[in-house]
Every structure is written in C-alpha cells, then in structure tokens.
Amino acid sequence: MKLTSTFALLALPFGVLGRELTQTGATWGLRAISHRDAHARPWQTSLRRFEYFYDETAGEGTFGYVIDGGVRISHKELEGRAENLWTADLSPYPRNEPNYDDKTGHGTHIAGTIASKTYGVAKKAHIVSVKVQNRFGKTTSSNLLSGIHKAVKDIIDKGRVGKAVINISLGGGCQERAVSQAIQKAVINGITIVQASGNEGEDAKDYCLAPKAGAITVGNMKPDWTIHNTSNFGSTVDIFGPGTDILSLSSADDKKLRSMTGTSMAAPHVAGVALTFMSASGSPKRRHEIVSMLDSTCTKDKITGDLRGSPNKLVNNNNKKQAK
C-alpha cells in the first residue's frame, strides 16, 4: 500500500503540547529528518556536529516494538525505557531457557535510533523487544510469525493501538503468505508497521517482507541525499530515511556505540517520527492517520540521482524551526 491517503490532511499541533527543542551534537540522520535541505558537508557523517529540532514530547507515552534479534535493554542510552516481551531463542534441551541477548547488535542499533536519549528520534518512547532470531542471527518464518502475533496481541491487550509502532528490519526475500497476512491483519486493526525495503539493490516488491500488506516500506538515503546503491527501490518503497553510516547503540556493553548501514537503519528513523507524531498530537493515531501525516509532512523532491521508480520522499518530523 502506497504512502498516500484519501483522508484529509491532518493538522499536527506541534508546539501545542510541548516546546520545540534543539539537540546539538546530533547525528547526520537526525539532522536530515528535521531539516529540508542536505548538509553542505555530507562527508562529515562521522562527526556529531549537527542540530536536531524536535518537539519536547519526543514520543513520551508511546511504544516502539522491535521485532529483530533482541535488544540490550540495559544500555545506558535507553534509560530504563526498554523491556523484553518474547524470545524465540531457547537454550538447548532440556533446559529450554529463554535467551533475550542481542548477539548480532542489529536490534540494539535499531532500538537506539528509535528511542535512545542521544541518538534516537523519539527520545522518550518505550522500547519493547521481540526476539525472533537465534544467537546466530537466523530466524524462521514460524518464529517471525510468532513474534508478530506476540507484538500485535500485546499492543491490543494493553490498549496501545494508536500509541505503538512495530519496526521490522528483516526480509531478504522471505515473503511467506502467512507473515504477510499477519501484517495485513494488524494494519486493518489500526497498528502502524514499518519495514525495511531490503539491501539487494533490486526491486523491493521481490525482496521486502510484505510488499502488499500495508506496512510502510522504507529505503536507504545517503548523507548526500542520494539513494544508496544497495537499497531496494521501486513503487513498493513508500518513503526514504537516513540509512548510511548511522551511529547508534552497540550490544557489546551498556555504553558502547557502533555505526551501521542499510535499510534496516532507515526504517527506525521513520518509526521514530511516527511515534513523535503520536505523542505531539496528544491523542492516539491509527495507521491510516500516521500514513497521512508522514505523506503530508515529508520532504518532497529533494533527493537527487536516479530513484529507479521510487517516490521522492524523505521522512521529516515537521518541526517549526526548519526552513520550509
């Protein structure tokens, strides 16, 4: 489903519930989603010399569900705002004890981009980890399906529809019908799901997890505001996010950081913006409302180069400080 909507554009009361703040020393990705132009020196991505403008509600009272390989919930940057919901990773028989550890660092990095205090988009959101991978970073369609069901049930049971976003930065050509149906059912129930488009440098319709299920599909933009050559592309992509040389959290210990590249890093920027929209608006926002907000506030026609059939849309948090 494309990132367009027949719904009337929704007024976003930014600045009504909270002041607009400025973070100095921010990553290039945070700058990109809060400014309407590319930075003059895109090669400075490793330097935290950028400004990030954001509403002070910053995702407060919202929940980012990370379906991945686990999250180091004890990381200092998450400030105790993270929990484990479920894991598919069990220790060998006969103990069968649950293992929530993030062995690859992938899920922790994503969680950090969504909600960490320094590197996160929605700095006050709560992270819920749903681990569908084993200690080797592998998963099965059965485990992925179980993880989606667990996350959706938790959101519905706890009254979090309109206050939660599910991020799924997995794919690689795994397009199981049952998984697609589970995502579609969640979307019908008003739950916002964000997925990575994939890193094969091919048409996303052949590689992203659920190309027609209503998840918001995200491509990878570089610091120079061109598309990364590994990012999947095409009409299945709904929007782009910063995804190259993204500095976020490491799972190695509670203080370490790491830089990663991929559509997996772009998707949580979109998930984080969706959470900030939910908190800044002051009321729950169902999936169709978030889609409308993302479309009406994104930066249009500023990405350069060959988009290969993808929409020229970069996620933006619609703050008032940036130049329109």
Residues with active-site annotation: 68, 106, 264
**How much is the CA Rg of the chain, to the nearest whole Å?**
18
Strand, helix or coil for residue 181: helix
The two most distant CA atoms of the chain are separated, in Å, by 60
| 183, two tokens | 């995502």
Q: Which residues contact 99 (CB under 8 A, 6 or more apart)?
A: 87, 89, 90, 91, 131, 135
Nearest C-alpha neighbor of 297 from the set 268, 279, 270 = 270
C-alpha to C-alpha distance for 219 and 314, rounded to whole angstroms: 9
Amino acid (one-letter) located at 310: S
Round to whole Å and give the CA distance between 321 and 35: 8
Phi-psi region of 161 (alpha: psi -120 to 50; beta: other; left: phi over 0): beta
SS3 content of the chain, % helix, strand, coil (to 5): 25, 20, 55
Q: Hey, how many other C-beta atoms are within 10 angstroms of the C-beta on 252?
A: 14
3-class SS at 85? strand
